[in-house]
Structure 1
Amino acid sequence: MCWIASSVPAQHVNSYPKDGKVRDLKGKVQEDIVVAKDGTGDFLYIADALEAIRVYLPKPITVYIKEGVYKEKLEIPGTITNVTFKGDGPDKTIITYDDHTGKDYMDTFDSYTMLVWGNSLTFKDLTIQNTAGSVGQAVALHAEGDRLVFENCHFKGDQDTMFASGENSRQYYKDCYIEGTTDFIFGSATALFEDCEIHSKSNSYITAASTPEWVKYGYVFKDCKLTAAGEVNRVYLGRPWRDFAKTVFINCEMGAHIVPEGWHNWGSKQKEQTTFYGEYGSTGLGGDDSGRVSWAHQLTGEEEKLYTKANIFAGNTAQKSAYDFPWYGYEIDSSFNLEDSYYKYKKDFPGIEPVYNTPIEGVSDNTIAYKDLGYRSLKMDVFFPEGNRTKKLPTILLVHGGGWRSGDRSLQAPMAKALAKRGYVTAVMDYRLSLEAPYPAGVHDVKDAIKWMKAHAENYGLDTNRVAIMGGSAGGQLAALVAMTNGRQEYESPSSDQEASASVHALIDMDGVLAFHHPESSEGAVAAQWLGGTYEEVPEIWDEASALHQVGDGGVPSLFINSQYPRFHAGQDDMIKKLDEFGVYAEVHGFEACPHPFWLFRPWFGDTINYVDSFLQKVW
């Protein structure tokens, strides 16, 4: 059951205020739901939305909880799975209650504001709090489901704020804020807290794990910040609620409120023998390990490397979500970025200057979500010349590089802005990288972005008959494949709801390989990760993803801009020969001495813009 306590009666689960019609909804809804206190959604109360959700959903849905304070005592049963509960932000969407031990003969485990039994659930951008105050145990979140994700959530309370428990429960907390007084993170779950703020409101203990003996990992805190109220000056990292408690802090910043000894044995010498408490890379005034208790562990570098998400969350059940990546989320690889590239290349190219993403006078921009993946939206930044336009403008969609696993759309923004200044409508886009989804997901995303731009042509004054695709490195490879598969339905997303064509009319490829398996190519593990295996394992996919093998009568005029490294031009000569056989124009420019991502730096940035502009003026 789901309980409601409020001065306003809960609406009946069969009512559906959006259209005024009464329907029998209990246990039947399998589409996205909106909860809004102002009556603009499907339900006024979260509990009523929970009652309406179909048990064991066949596909994921989102329950969007709009801004408001929801005083509700909630239980999410084990029959509710594959749901994302998303708020308007932890300062706007607040779920609150005030039960505590001793109230109506209540014990700790009944004092929750929210109790979660369901599996494969995600909670984002909201607060769960217990406002009972300093009256004893008063739980905000009681979580025992498996594969639970909490992102940008706040958990507020005093004693026993968060009961993260369940012998087979795996829970992931990302960018969260957790506050409390005593043992305010306690229980038996395997839980990873990453980039969280852990705030102590009194001199006491942060954690009280009860990890079962047979569980390898208990509570793991990585890259967290431990803070405290002003008068707090003596806080322990943890004490073992049960034998075999496991808690580890890795690369965490600890305030001066953390006591030198770090850990407490809860008055039991026996627990010192069975408990595993560890640290690695602690910093801050409370991070000095010289005074730690003798029975705690300082992890070695090799031991620290074992604390990966894959290891922490390993289990006997499936690791994949309904979206075909690990349930705890895909990894974000930020290794390819402008600053690191600059420091990498400046030694060999002393005159190199990074081109930063700054505003350009006379160019406007707009950020939009062009594709909804269900669990997140893919975005696009559109740039266009300011002022009234008397004619429709040609368009360029730019695709960033990064080995199909790293990089982001901001890398191509300076070039997009510079081309917009020349009179083009330009755009840079997100697409799914290999750590999120393998080929052909990224290809589908690029083609869907083209469709979106054409469908919204009137908004930006673009000419749908003059659309170019442009990319660098991995983005160049994608751009070439997209251009050479014009009109090929097998390269488009089967679930796309865009009716516009994904065809383009010109290609600009900057150092993007055109054949993965070729005498001139040296693509290996990075390409294999994106393509789902090595060439020996999936040769047909390596050929299918190579633009060289897709050239036909749908080929488009192509500009190739090359660095000094031949391996990035694999298949280029063969492709130009094929284009020539079909009577399609191709043009090549090269820089004799330059880094691979030359388009990110001066002095090559300006010449690249000139080459692109001149080429498009010529073919259009």
Structure 2
Amino acid sequence: MAIYGYTALFLLFHLATAIRIRVDESGSTGNYQKIQDAIDAVPRNNSENVLILIKPGVYKEKIVVPADKPFITLSGSKPGKGKVIITWNESGEIFESPTFTVLASDFMARHLTIQNTYGSGAKAVALRVSADRAAFFGCRILSHQDTLLDDKGRHYYNNCYIQGDTDFICGNAASLFEKCHLHSLSQGTGAITAQHRHSPFEKTGFTFVNCKISGLKSALLGRPWGAYSRVVFALTYMSNVILPQGWDDWGDTSKQRTSYYGEFMCYGPGSSTSRRVNWSHSLTSQEAKSYLTESINGGRSWVRAVLPRFRRASGDLSGHVGGRHP
């Protein structure tokens, strides 16, 4: 069976150019010193692609991309050229604690580290994505509990490193994770996923293709936050961190009938399905086909590549993007 080439899906957005803004926390170059200031400069109801280039550094900010500011791309430096680290320290309600919140559609992030340094023992979200058509490339998303609140919308994660200990990829989005590294900090039965699909009619779920799972001690692949939770792992390396049972019903046996947990051609010491819970699925090639040979979340039509041409921001971004210029 030919595996679907998701990496070939990156399509140019219909606008051929983008406004370019630079952020430098040192203040020596760039238009802004804070990432949030650059986002705030984008006009409401924006209809133009805006690329925010961020120089390496540690940005101690709690960031929100508002719903009325679509078409923003945040980009750090390519690997090996210095890290862009966005960091915050907060716990509490999952929709309030995130270091970074995306509410705007058509958002893209590249080469960013997004972390919540609160530590273990409480909900502490690093990244919340509550918008349609959001894509993340080469990002590091770090916390302990509820690291990535993949809340709603269609999302794509490529070559990302996601770390946590309890339900650290959670929410009810329709998301594809390709070539991502999932690292569990759990010391016992912490779950990697807690997918929140609560109706059989919702076209949501998490699919992991060609990923890698590692960890410190032991972990579950997932447990159902919603009664119709849906998660599939395909062609994924699983270290011995994965417990033999693989999945858990979160103390509610009725969810065994309605959840859908599947694995297809995974490998590694934690991939054996011989002792998996009997309500999970070892997928056949035909059953896995829709996850491997079709765009499960419409990504063919909206995931885009780096735009080919940019123009520097000038003037006030009621007309474009304002701020200080080098």
Interval containing the TM-score (normalised by the shorter chain): 0.7 to 0.9
Instruction: Give the gaps of 5 or more residues in structure 1.
Output: 1-29, 102-106, 320-324, 331-370, 376-620
The CA RMSD measured in Å over matched residues stands at: 1.8
- Decide which of 192, 206, 210 is 1:223's aligned counterpart: 210
2:181 maps to 197
1:373 equivalenced with 2:308 (yes/no): yes
Instruction: Give the gaps of 5 or more residues in structure 2.
Output: 1-17, 311-326
Alpha-carbon distance in 2 for matches of 1:274, 1:46: 42
1:593 maps to none
Alpha-carbon distance in 2 for matches of 1:34, 1:264: 46
- Does structure 2 conserve the Cα–Cα contact (< 8 Å) formed by 1:35 and 1:66? yes
- Does structure 1 conserve the Cα–Cα contact (< 8 Å) formed by 2:172 and 2:204? no
1:37 equivalenced with 2:13 (yes/no): no
Q: How many equivalent residue pairs? A: 287
Larger radius of gyration: 1
The CA deviation at 1:372 is 6.5
Q: Superposition pairs for residues 356-371 of structure 1, below 5 Å?
A: none
Alpha-carbon distance in 1 for matches of 2:230, 2:309: 35
1:311 match: secondary structure: coil
1:123 match: secondary structure: strand
- Does structure 2 conserve the Cα–Cα contact (< 8 Å) formed by 1:89 and 1:126? no
1:74 maps to 63
- Decide which of 97, 108, 113 is 1:127's aligned counterpart: 113
Alpha-carbon distance in 2 for matches of 1:56, 1:309: 35
The CA deviation at 1:215 is 2.0
1:47 match: secondary structure: helix
The CA deviation at 1:109 is 1.8
- Decide which of 273, 279, 290 is 1:295's aligned counterpart: 279
- Decide which of 301, 304, 324 is 1:326's aligned counterpart: 301
* Structure whose residues are more often helix by fraction: 1
- Does structure 2 conserve the Cα–Cα contact (< 8 Å) formed by 1:160 and 1:182? yes
1:95 equivalenced with 2:86 (yes/no): yes
Q: Superposition pairs for residues 184-333 of structure 1, below 5 Å?
A: 184-202=168-186, 203=188, 204-213=190-199, 214-229=201-216, 232=217, 234-308=218-292, 310-314=294-298, 326-329=301-304
The CA deviation at 1:327 is 1.5
2:301 match: secondary structure: coil
- Does structure 2 conserve the Cα–Cα contact (< 8 Å) formed by 1:217 and 1:312? no
The CA deviation at 1:199 is 0.1
Alpha-carbon distance in 2 for matches of 1:170, 1:308: 17
TM-score, normalised on structure 2? 0.84
The letter for the 2-side match of 1:87 is G
- Decide which of 147, 155, 172 is 1:171's aligned counterpart: 155
1:312 match: secondary structure: coil
Alpha-carbon distance in 2 for matches of 1:108, 1:57: 28
Alpha-carbon distance in 1 for matches of 2:126, 2:293: 26
Alpha-carbon distance in 2 for matches of 1:58, 1:112: 26
1:207 match: secondary structure: strand
Paired-residue identity, %:
38
* Structure whose residues are more often strand by fraction: 2
1:58 equivalenced with 2:47 (yes/no): yes
1:305 match: secondary structure: helix
- Does structure 2 conserve the Cα–Cα contact (< 8 Å) formed by 1:99 and 1:112? yes
Q: Superposition pairs for residues 349-498 of structure 1, below 5 Å?
A: 373-374=308-309
Change (3 A) 1:175 1:374: farther
The letter for the 2-side match of 1:172 is Y
- Does structure 2 conserve the Cα–Cα contact (< 8 Å) formed by 1:124 and 1:153? yes
Alpha-carbon distance in 1 for matches of 2:121, 2:204: 32
